Amino acid sequence: MKYFLFTFICTTMCWGQMQKEQLNLMPWPKEISNQQGKFNIDKDFAINLNAPNSERLTIATTKFLRRLDGRTGIFFKNGFALINHPNSTVQINVKSIAKLDLQQDESYQLTIAPNQIIINANTDSGAIYGLETLLQTLQNTNDSFYFPTLSIQDSPRFRWRGLMIDAARHFMPVDVIKRNLDAMAAVKLNVFHWHLVDDQGWRIEMKSLKQLHLKASDGLYYTQEQIKDVVQYAGNLGIMVVPEIDVPGHASAILTAIPEIGSTPNKKYSLERNAGVFNPTLDPTNPKTYQIINQIFDEVCPLFPGKYFHIGGDENEGKEWDANPKIQKFKKENNLATNHDLQTYFTMKLIPILKKHNKLLMGWEEIMTKDMSKDAIIHAWRGPNEGLKAGESLANAAKNGYQTVLSNGYYLDLVLGIDTYYNTDPINKELNLSSEIQKNILGGEATIWAELVTPLTIDSRIWPRTAAIAERLWSDSSVNNLKNMKKRLIPVTDRLEELGITHIRNKGVILRNIANYQDIQALEKFSNICEPLKLYTRNKGGTEYQMYSPLTLFADACTPDASDAEEFNSLVELYNANHANNEAKSKIINQLQSWISTHKELVQLQKNAPIISGFLPLSKNLNDLSQQLINKLQDKSYDAELAKKMLENCKSKDYADVELAIIPGLVGLIQ
């Protein structure tokens, strides 16, 4: 009997562990318990709502059913959620409708038994997250689909889990915004930060100050009805929208339309076509500046029912202020020693303007000074590149009593690998922050600045890396196994397509353009080992690309975490650990030979596809080194010094704004 009981317990535990390893949940839940068994899905699958009348939940259940029948191909008898049908296969029990703020209860409990599925949540937002988790558990045999039996207790680690999309540099149409909102909801992000105004454009239709969108948008802006539609769409996903109008710097667009509130008298301002930090700045000493801002906020604030309004406040170098005697005189008269003090004076003027609309002011970390109101939310973006430790500026804001959000380490436009983002935690344990200080850290926000992205490419820059950031913000800090995360990310990446995300399909669109509509197989292979240049080095000085320059080039087709590169680099590590590993050796040789063949194909393609000439020399460098390395692995004639020179050529970043992501593997083979 004891032996039987021991065997039963071991079998149950092993089954639970095996089931957990098969689950591809992201973000990973707080608590999960597996049981032996499964819930089979058939045409009688039905959802019953035991909840207050919630448009949000009704829409979510309808979308869930469409996604589920789309994946399974099953014709459900009930295509929509039911009310007062307690015998339905899925029971959703909700107590209240959530307000879209940081105080909402987002927890849920999901129980999958062989005969019924139950989702319990205090709010409809929690229930929606439960549905997302349920859909991620879907599995199949060779002839059927099922949900594994399990129990999940889940709630987020951080309250603020955001994504910022910059629609000022390159305008992003409503359909781009909506599909990314859908993807955000799928990984349980809850804040959409909409960057609407910068040097390159004003993107909001104005009724009272029409010159703003007529003179400063190139005709690309959101109507107020479109903004309301997006806000409602986001709200139905449980996502709060935070708008940003960047002031007092980054003001070229505003001053193009209303130059009289600029800091340089009688200057004719114009929209900026380059990337970077520019001089145009609002005049904080001019009463009309606040009159205009008041007028803008009176019209814009009602479009966004959320509690927070982002005023930017970053990267004001104060050059126009320094050059204006009137402004310098004002500083002296008001005991404002520095431009930072003057900006604080300006920002403090905005707080009551926003307060009358029940908004809290949020700004990038430059707004924080000793005199800044503690009601302001500090958005931390500076880090090691600015001489600070990771998370240090965030910690400083929290220590000074401000609620704060982290974006340093989550800048997607730096096109860094997913490891970097996943390993960035809003709370740096090395800083030894007390539990009281940690309470001021609201969470984090992925950011995609749009100097080098368009509607065609933005999805590939946001996804799938933002799914990893979403897990870092939702899951416990102990959930940090990179290998496991990458395994789970594969199906998440694929399933984003059903939500309309174009990160996979648009690569082919760009490659077909580059190939002049010839066969793109060789281009695809080469792109799978190349990545865009990182850390803004693609756009040197912010002037190589203007806002109207083509972003349909090879670098735009390539993505971080090049798929074939990681596999090759890992193979070399495996081989170097054991040179007797003939399987790894054979695979490496096959890969090197494939790059030689790819180069030959690219040479042929280039005869009728001029764009290829931009990166053909890089392919040639790899072709030459590959032949040398094959000789080495096959014990043929090999010139070590020549191979080192060829390796340096392969490290070049001078071709088409890309770099080879297989350099670690190539280095490993040479050494």
Dist. CA 604–CA 600, nearest whole Å: 7
pLDDT, position 20: 57
Active site residues: 315
Indicate if the pLDDT at residue 8 is higher than 80.
no
The answer to whether the Cα torsion of 427, 430, 434, 435 is positive or negative is positive
Q: Which amino acid is at 436?
A: E
For 483, the token pair is: 């290998």
Exposure string of 72-83, with b = 16+ CB inside 10 Å and e = fewer, is bebebebeebee
For 572, the token pair is: 């070399």
What is the pTM (predicted TM-score) of this model?
A: 0.95
Conformational region of residue 627, where left means phi above 0, alpha means psi within -120 to 50, and beta covers everything else:
alpha
- Burial label, 387 (beta-carbon count in 10 A; 0-12, 13-18, 19+): exposed
Select from 3.40.630.30, 3.20.20.210, 3.90.1150.10, 3.30.379.10 the CATH code of 2-154: 3.30.379.10
What are the start-end ranges of the H helices in 364-449? 392-399, 418-422, 435-438
Rg (CA), the chain: 27
pLDDT, position 273: 97
Distances (CA, A) of 185 to 181, 370, 465: 6, 37, 15
For 570, the token pair is: 């890992």
Summarize pLDDT for 307-357 with one digit per residue, the tens.
999 999 999 999 999 999 999 999 999 999 999 999 999 999 999 999 999
129-138, 293-302, 388-397, 626-635 — which is least confidently predicted?
Answer: 388-397
Summarize pLDDT for 47-84 with one digit per residue, the tens.
999 999 999 999 999 999 999 999 999 999 999 999 98
Indicate if the pLDDT at residue 13 is higher than 50.
no
Nearest to 43 by CA among 102, 91, 89: 89
Summarize pLDDT for 256-287 with one digit per residue, the tens.
999 999 999 999 999 999 999 999 999 999 99
Please state the domain extents for the chain: 2-154, 160-499, 506-670
Q: Which amino acid is at 531?
A: E
Domain boundaries 160-499, corresponding CATH code: 3.20.20.80
User: Residues 665-669: what's their mean pLDDT?
Assistant: 98
Indicate if the pLDDT at residue 1 is higher than 90.
no
pLDDT, position 14: 45
Dist. CA 619–CA 632, nearest whole Å: 20
Direct distance between the N- and C-terminal alpha carbons of the chain, in angstroms, rounded to an integer: 60
Indicate if the pLDDT at residue 299 is higher than 90.
yes
pLDDT, position 384: 80
* 391 band by pLDDT with thresholds 50, 70 and 90: confident
Query: Using alpha carbons only, what angle is made at residue 435 by residues 432 and 439, rounded to the nearest 5 degrees?
Result: 115
Summarize pLDDT for 98-117 with one digit per residue, the tens.
999 999 999 999 999 999 99
For 369, the token pair is: 């000074």
Residue 532, H or E segment: strand 530-532
pLDDT, position 35: 85
> Residue written as tokens 């080192």?
644
